[in-house]
Structure 1
Amino acid sequence: MTAGERAGVALRRAVASDAGAAAGVWLRSFAAALPGVVRPRSDDEVREYFRHVLVPRRETWVAEAAGDGVVGVLVLEGGVLEQLYLEPGWRGRGIGDRFVALAKERSPGGLSLWTFQVNAPAHRFYERHGFTAVERTDGSGNEEREPDVRYVWRP
């Protein structure tokens, strides 16, 4: 088993044909984890964003499970962890931990990210991985208009 594979799940760079599956993971994960957060974009707009922006223009990774396809997505932009979403049924299996380790490896000088204040499980997850909350906002600066928190990790 390679370093990118564990328990039948491989982490690999996304290719154009992964955009639809990655967007599907994002949509299902967002709905499950953040049911009270209003999305400003339709499902089709999210799919287009993955197809035309995230996969071709960002450092996008997917977790691919043997027999189940894409079950996770990670998007990096320089030292910013832009997206980390898992298929709801695949949470708690170490894929998020592997994605964070990969992000730290790809950005050894440090990382930052934003998550919504209502997402307490994400706060616990990132804090467990050494991230520290450094800024809280009222949400006026994001599309969802949802209070958020910025986390940073420094090696």
Structure 2
Amino acid sequence: MTAGSVEVVLRRAGAPDALAAADVWLRSFAAALPTVVSPRSGDDVRQYFRDVVVPFRETWVADAGGGGGIVGVMVLRDDELSRLHELSQLYLDPDWRGRGIGDRFVRLAKERGPEGLDLWTFQVNKPAHRFYERHGFVAVEYTDGSGNEEREPDVRYVWRP
């Protein structure tokens, strides 16, 4: 896909992508969720991506090459309880939103989890709610946030084919 005149490729992340993917996460989180306090420092997030996310999760990046490097990250994992794939992370660099990259990530997630997907997002993140609902996800559970490390009320979405 071309974003402007830059081709953006979705590909599996490798070890060299971990820090850039973490930095996309940090920029996106700060821009999309300014009222949510992350309990992790930037260094903690980078270490987690380097030591856990990229090596042990199905991690994908949106790579704009020389036109921007890593501009998006998506992480999938199997949810043993529901037997669905969990879309556990989907973050885009704020400067790259609105270019169809998130849509491409969701299509890829549905291909990787054809039996269904679930995900959690914060209740304050109304743009994410609209995005996922546009892609056929349905809100099935609301919580007070006691189950997440940010202690922020959240909502669980499910997509079934």
Distance in 2 between the 1:70 and 1:143 partners? 26
Asked if 1:112 is matched to 2:109, the reply is: no
Partner of 1:3: none
SS at structure 2 position matched to 1:105? helix
Q: Summarize deviations over 1:109-140 as a string: whole Å, max 9, x none.
A: 00000000000000000000000000000001
- TM-score, with structure 1 as normaliser: 0.96
Partner of 1:132: 138
Distance in 1 between the 2:148 and 2:10 partners? 29
Structure 1: gaps (5+ residues): 1-5
How many equivalent residue pairs? 150
Quick check: 59-68 or 7-16, which moved more?
59-68
Distance in 1 between the 2:143 and 2:75 partners? 22
Cα RMSD after superposing both structures: 0.4
Partner of 2:10: 11
- Identity fraction in percent: 77
- TM-score, with structure 2 as normaliser: 0.93
Partner amino acid, structure 1, of 2:18: A
SS at structure 2 position matched to 1:50? helix
Shift of 1:66: 3.0
Structure 2: gaps (5+ residues): 79-84
Which of 99, 102, 105 aligns to 2:105? It is 99
Q: Summarize deviations over 1:15-53 as a string: whole Å, max 9, x none.
A: 000000000000000000000001010100000000000
Distance in 2 between the 1:131 and 1:98 partners? 15
Runs of 4+ in 1 over 6 A off after TM superposition: none
Aligned positions of 1:1-155 closer than 5 A? 6-7=1-2, 8-67=7-66, 68-78=68-78, 79-155=85-161
SS at structure 2 position matched to 1:134? strand
